[in-house]
Chains A and B, each alone.
Chain A
Amino acid sequence: MTGQGFKSLTLIGVLVIAAAFVPFVTNGYWLSIAVTAMMYIALATAWTLFSGPTHYISLATGAFFGIGGYLVATGMSDFDISFWVMAAIAPIVAVVLAALIGAATLRLSGIYFVIFTLGLAEMIRGLVSWVQNNFLGSRGLYVLTDFTEEHIYWMLLGIAATVYVIGWLIDRSKLGFAMKIIGNDEGVAKHLGINTARAKVILFMITGFFSALVGVIVAPRYSYIEPNLVFSPEISFMVVIMALLGGTQRLWGPIIGVIPFILIWETITVSFPNATTLYLGLSFLAIVYFLPNGVVGLIESLTKRGRAS
């Protein structure tokens, strides 16, 4: 079992090294798609860290991502703080927010959590816009850095790899074991001495940290930032679809989901820009009705059947 664990870690290591060379073989359009894909790989892997074992559909990604992007922008434009200082502060703010949301909702049933996160990005956007209009002056926020697309790509790759390694370590830790038990039967978990609410909140905080960090790194890509741009509920849904499409039972599942989804998404955005929402909706339906365990689940059940016959 541990042997297999190390094998998957090695495999990921090879993938990361291969992925690091992408900017050398391509640029322009395909590099920008690669950056988008890498952003979603990092977000979806971070999402799976929490939602995989708990089965809670978190829609908070957009809120965390927005906090990352917005704080960098407002810090640099309104307060003249350097990018790196804001890059350190923003994820911590997200972690605190995750802790508060978790403490309020995760001790109750999962449905409250889903509903709470559903409008979260929208709500924070409203709050931030209001603060900006009334107290900070409603001028635009600029994130001006020397980063090229390549830099952003590599940083995102670094985050994705870090999230993966952390997930791998959690899987082998007591916390990961506790999450596995909670996923099986939360009532039993409590009676085995597991502080279930705390375990869930900790994982949610880790997810929040990395989602915000991705927001931070991606901010220079937009250079001009307004709340409507970064607090986009769409990101939350995209991440959910991609993670579920790949499969959440394995940490590498999201990678399989992100790449095809992004390619189709880009094609649709270019040729039928009005059909993206419909595509999002149909993808959700396809996952529920045809791929309940994602591509990974499908592959595993096929190989199992193959072996049995």
Chain B
Amino acid sequence: MTPPRTLLKVENLTKRFGGLVAVNDMTFDVKEHEVMGLIGPNGSGKTTTMNLISGAFGPSTGTISMNNRVLSGLPAHEITRAGISRTFQLVKVLPGLSLTENVIAGAAFGHKKRWGAEAVDMAHQLLIRVGLETQIDLPVTSLTYIDQKRLELARALAGEPEVLLLDEWLAGLNPTELQDGIALISDLRKEGRTIILVEHVMDAIRSLCDRCVVMNSGTKIAEGTPQDVLSDPEVIRAYLGDE
């Protein structure tokens, strides 16, 4: 068996907003078929890192590359086409479109493009896959919060991305929904998908992540398996503060 290949490479990534350094010299790799957790206290720069990877804005310095192709600096639509899909911290479904159209939107312009009957088929399969088969004909605006999140996940999967970015996909769910959500991501993991997830839910991190990168004040303070980093004294200090 060959060792897993490095798919995504983040090198010396820095992002400044005016005088504020939101992300400071971050370096990490993501291997193929790996679920990597990006964790850290609020305001530590996790979502900014996700936004940099997805191309919502460009980095101040540093590079992001996938399969040895430099992606940083490209506009968001090109990064999506290169094979990086995302969900949003605050769920963003398209209210004027049907459920099926929402998913087709992910298939039509993304990494692997599908259109017409083929896209409709795929959308239906994905909607069933994420557990929305009974809601298919409902208006998007009538969906519950978790169902909107499911829809967003289906949309992100529709382009068959090489890397999936989940930005606090489990946040705001109640305990039952959380179990369902974790099971869904766990399935994706078993399929061998490469995922970066930003998460606060510790159970999810322990059960889903192969590896974690911990951020604090924009810098990486630890990296390793969930057990290792969560028992690292510096990580604990970052979360709980100095006594």
B46 at the interface (CB under 8 A from A): no
- The answer for the CA separation of A194 and B237 in the assembled complex, in Å, is 42
Stretch at the interface among B19-27, B36-44, B109-117, B126-134: B109-117
1/0 per position for A195-209, CB-CB distance to B under 8 A? 110000000000000
Using A183-B96, A184-B95 as known contacts, say yes or no to A191 and B159 having CB atoms under 8 A apart.
no
Which one of A180, A185, A192, A195 has the highest number of Cβ atoms from chain B below 10 Å of its Cβ? A192
Distance (Å) between the CB of B118 and the closest chain A CB? 13
Q: Give the residue of B56, B80, B104 whose beta carbon is less than 8 angstroms from that of A193.
A: B80
Query: Which chain A positions have C-beta within 8 A of B155?
Result: 192
B153 at the interface (CB under 8 A from A): no
B108 at the interface (CB under 8 A from A): yes
A100 at the interface (CB under 8 A from B): no
- Per DSSP, chain A at the interface is helix
For chain B residues 137-160, which have a beta carbon within 8 Å of chain A? 155, 159
- The answer for the CA separation of A174 and B108 in the assembled complex, in Å, is 8
B124 at the interface (CB under 8 A from A): no
A7 at the interface (CB under 8 A from B): no
A181 at the interface (CB under 8 A from B): yes
Using A177-B105, A181-B105 as known contacts, say yes or no to A193 and B97 having CB atoms under 8 A apart.
no
B14 at the interface (CB under 8 A from A): no
- The answer for the CA separation of A207 and B74 in the assembled complex, in Å, is 29
Query: Which chain B positions have C-beta within 8 A of A178?
Result: 108-109
B206 at the interface (CB under 8 A from A): no
- Shortest Cβ distance from A249 into B: residue: B96
For chain A residues 101-141, which have a beta carbon within 8 Å of chain B? none
Query: Which chain A positions have C-beta within 8 A of B5?
Result: none
- The answer for the CA separation of A85 and B108 in the assembled complex, in Å, is 40
B172 at the interface (CB under 8 A from A): no
A250 at the interface (CB under 8 A from B): no
- Shortest Cβ distance from B92 into A: residue: A188
- Shortest Cβ distance from B159 into A: residue: A193
A187 at the interface (CB under 8 A from B): yes
Assess the A190–B76 pair: CB atoms within 8 A: yes
Query: Which chain A positions have C-beta within 8 A of B75?
Result: 190, 195
Assess the A181–B76 pair: CB atoms within 8 A: no
- The answer for the CA separation of A188 and B105 in the assembled complex, in Å, is 10
B94 at the interface (CB under 8 A from A): yes
Query: Which chain B positions have C-beta within 8 A of A183?
Result: 96
Assess the B81–A193 pair: CB atoms within 8 A: yes
Assess the A181–B94 pair: CB atoms within 8 A: yes
Query: Which chain A positions have C-beta within 8 A of B45?
Result: none
- Shortest Cβ distance from B81 into A: residue: A193
For chain B residues 72-111, which have a beta carbon within 8 Å of chain A? 75-78, 80-81, 85-86, 88, 92, 94-97, 101, 104-106, 108-111
Distance (Å) between the CB of A202 and the closest chain B CB? 14
B49 at the interface (CB under 8 A from A): no
Using A190-B75, A191-B86, A192-B80 as known contacts, say yes or no to A181 and B56 having CB atoms under 8 A apart.
no
- The answer for the CA separation of A178 and B54 in the assembled complex, in Å, is 19
Using A174-B108, A174-B115, A178-B109 as known contacts, say yes or no to A191 and B76 having CB atoms under 8 A apart.
yes
Query: Which chain B positions have C-beta within 8 A of A187?
Result: 56, 92
Query: Which chain B positions have C-beta within 8 A of A185?
Result: 92, 94
Assess the B97–A181 pair: CB atoms within 8 A: yes
- The answer for the CA separation of A184 and B104 in the assembled complex, in Å, is 14
Which one of B78, B80, B105 has the highest number of Cβ atoms from chain A below 10 Å of its Cβ? B105
A interface with B by C-beta (< 8 Å):
174, 177-178, 180-181, 183-185, 187-188, 190-196
Please give me the 10 A-B residue pairs with the lowest Cβ-Cβ distance, nearest first.
A193-B109, A193-B80, A190-B76, A184-B94, A193-B110, A193-B81, A184-B96, A194-B109, A195-B77, A188-B92
Extra inter-chain contacts (11) besides given A181-B94, A184-B97, A193-B159, CB under 8 Å: A177-B105, A177-B108, A178-B108, A184-B96, A187-B56, A191-B76, A191-B85, A192-B109, A193-B77, A193-B110, A193-B111
Supply 23 A–B pairs (Cβ within 8 Å), ascending by A: A177-B108, A178-B108, A178-B109, A181-B94, A184-B95, A184-B97, A185-B94, A187-B56, A188-B92, A190-B55, A190-B76, A191-B55, A191-B56, A191-B76, A191-B80, A191-B85, A192-B105, A192-B106, A192-B110, A192-B159, A193-B80, A194-B109, A195-B78
